Amino acid sequence: MKQFTHFLEGFGSAVQLLFQSARFVGTLPRQRARFIDQCYLIGYTTLPIVAILCFFMGSVLALQSGYSMENFGAKQFIGSLVGLSFARELGPVIVAILVAGRVGSAITAELASMKVYQEVDALVTMNIPPARILVLPRLAAVLVMMPVLAIIGNLIGWFGGAVVCKYVESIAIEPEAYFSALRRYMKFKDVGTGLMKAEIFGFVVVLICCSIGLNTRGGPREIGASVTKAVVVSLISILVLDYFVTKALM
């Protein structure tokens, strides 16, 4: 019962933070510098790990599907399988998980530390709402960067699959055939659905991480506890949301 109350409190506080931030959307043009900083942190610093992970996920997916589909004589469909899996599911989920681990944890640590060391209280006494300068630029930046990361993740994942298909002897499918199969069964809607999911996951992750960071109470030890909580809650939220968003967008 107590945990359910905590869950409701956390949910309520995240929704409240969302509405507080929305009140200041008009101030975004004045906060260009903060917005660009956050785009750099969320997008550019996450890109290398997105690239590495998506490349190997694409490779493994092609390898596994090559092994299984050979029995049915359906190797020519590997391109379609890797393409659709990445566009609709793996791309947005992997990118969101990486953003939660790489960016979300950093956001929570920074905001929790600001809260514990009274920097957030100082902002409140200066009549500068933390939602305006600490949360809004991050939410805006993640909305811009998530589709970019998801598109790059998709392209690199597809490329990883193509490399395996060409160089693994048991599969041996030429890139032309691989990409032709990928294009044949892929609709624009599939990519659009994936990007929409990435957008929703990224936004929710950053909102959760900001909310948990700003609600940190106690001393420095609580900063670590908040970071752990933020990452765990984000990961669970991504996977739970994934089911409902996928169903809604079908």
Partner 1 sequence: MNPPIHRNPITAVESPAVGVTIDGLTKNFGTFQALKNVSFTVEPGEIFVLMGPSGSGKSVLLKHIVGLEAATAGRVLINGQDATAEHTLERIRIALVFQAGALFNSLSVYDNLALYPREHRFGDEATIRDKVMRALQILSLENSAQKFPSELSGGMRKRVAIARALVMEPQLMLYDEPTSELDPVMSATISEIIATLKDEYHVTTIVVSHDRELALGIADRVGILMGGELVFLGPPASLRQPADPRIADFFHPRIDLKNPRFKTLET
Q: Smallest distance from the beta carbon of 43 to partner 1, in angstroms? A: 20
CB 59 within 8 A of CB 161: yes
- 45 phi and psi angles, rounded to 5 deg: -75, -20
118 conformational bin, left if phi > 0, alpha if psi -120 to 50, beta if neither? left
Separation CA 177–CA 184 (nearest Å): 10
Separation CA 51–CA 87 (nearest Å): 15
Q: Which is nearer to partner 1, 119 or 242 (CB)?
A: 119
Q: Which is nearer to partner 1, 25 or 240 (CB)?
A: 25
Q: Smallest distance from the beta carbon of 73 to partner 1, in angstroms? A: 60
Q: Smallest distance from the beta carbon of 34 to partner 1, in angstroms? A: 11
The CA angle 130-23-117, to the nearest 5 degrees, is 5
* Residue 170 identity: S
Q: Smallest distance from the beta carbon of 124 to partner 1, in angstroms? A: 6
Separation CA 241–CA 97 (nearest Å): 13
CB 230 within 8 A of CB 106: no
Site string for partner 1, 90-129 (x = CB under 8 A): ------------------------x--xxx-xx-xxxxx-
Residue 25 in contact with partner 1, rule: CB under 8 A: no
Q: Which is nearer to partner 1, 50 or 135 (CB)?
A: 135
Q: Which is nearer to partner 1, 126 or 250 (CB)?
A: 126
The binder of partner 1 chosen from 28, 47, 106, 133 (CB under 8 A): 133
Where in 186-245 is the site for partner 1 (CB under 8 A)? none
Q: Which is nearer to partner 1, 122 or 248 (CB)?
A: 122
CB 249 within 8 A of CB 195: no
CB 86 within 8 A of CB 187: no
Binding footprint of partner 1, residue count (CB under 8 A): 12
Q: Which is nearer to partner 1, 23 or 189 (CB)?
A: 23
Where in 57-86 is the site for partner 1 (CB under 8 A)? none
- 74 phi and psi angles, rounded to 5 deg: -115, 30
Q: Smallest distance from the beta carbon of 98 to partner 1, in angstroms? A: 24
> What is the binding site for partner 1 (CB under 8 A)?
114, 117-119, 121-122, 124-128, 133
